[in-house]
Structure 1
């Protein structure tokens, strides 16, 4: 029986031996713009996890953390929509995506997640800030939290549903990476904007999210075979490594944040930067994989070989 490491080694060897006739890309590189789409990926995840944090804080009587979560969810989701619309070019294109609901299309489903979520979090934050209509604020906050898990991970499904090898080949792990990054970023905001006496849940979120993100990222790169190169080499590799270092430093500081406001601020800043870097690194790795025909052909050949061996 072959080990996963053996499969990764065979994939790497196949990648080293690959030659194309002209070296031209087989698939078209995504036309999504920087920083619009990386910001959209980061802000949406932050908003979703912050919404969950707000509801849990309200249930446990942490008023400051509840306010932080509501405001972060509203600002994050609204800014996420703005970034998406800016990438699309005009608001009408976003509105057109809401004309029809297609369960088989991650883009359609995502549009129907982000639109009501943004409206609900905006209403919850407005109630929290003004002090008016508290019942409406509570109901909209709870309603938004129902959509929060999907909000944190649907962008991972959106990326992995494309033909881009750097995203499609890691479709199993990518939602877990995004979920961990989102939870970590929400915990970071909670530590930055909430008094230490109420920030314990935010610290736990930061630590749990960091652990999930690091574990899922490690698994993703191990299982990716030759595709793993785009997460280790070049500019995208440098950004991904920087994100991991910042995550480790931020998690370490979070362990000290209970007794030190300076540590809490340091942890919050490191984990915020790490989450943004994770999204940008993954986005850039996908674009790199689309440019090189090796990353399209070698995994396909490997799958065909495995299917042939299984049927034989």
Structure 2
């Protein structure tokens, strides 16, 4: 009898807590209804275009045939993953992808930080706004246009750069076909196109730095370099860590369009990455299940790297992304 009474009491307590939580939720929903209404389009976007299509990853475990349909295709488990890891191209694709990501982390990632720090030191607002506008503009240029500009400047058939090289050195350099120049070109294109846009976040973070800290540093005799090192950089450190974590998560993502446009028969050995491989296998050869397996592999690695880098950041006393 006592046991039954205790059980009923626990159930009653849980029921009251559930009702209280529901009343709290409905109260918040009624109070902030316009805020939730503004949130609705974003939620619908992610639900329709991000979460619902996730059912498509089941293709990686099926031998998908368009005529038999999604649900009636044969279930093959991890067969496509085994084929991918045993493929002779896997090592080359992994090497090319990781090298490009490494160069991006070393050269491209710090560039917006350096530009933001330099812009922050400019005291003339007119000069600062003019420079910001000029370096923002390339972000809005299509990658097709960027590739076309690269071709016009670097081609051996009348390109401006090679014309100058031939005039002053007597020989040309085949930038577009030489495998050794492929990765530097990709990094330079990325830096020219995206560095200015990437400074927006860091400039916003720098705008929140308390000016009294600089005044105190000046009183203590700190020069501009010391102020930047001891005040400015620590103020944006958390922003740098968060963006670095997100960047590490994209280590297997090099961007399809840029790589595809700059690839040709002579540099393909170093140009092929996972993104272009998925396109080649999935679209041009119709291996839908196999290409889905490759894409799922990239996503899983990205998630693991994000959680790992976030864990390490917190272990070293930094604020992570969650």
TM-score, L = length of structure 2: 0.27
TM-score, L = length of structure 1: 0.27
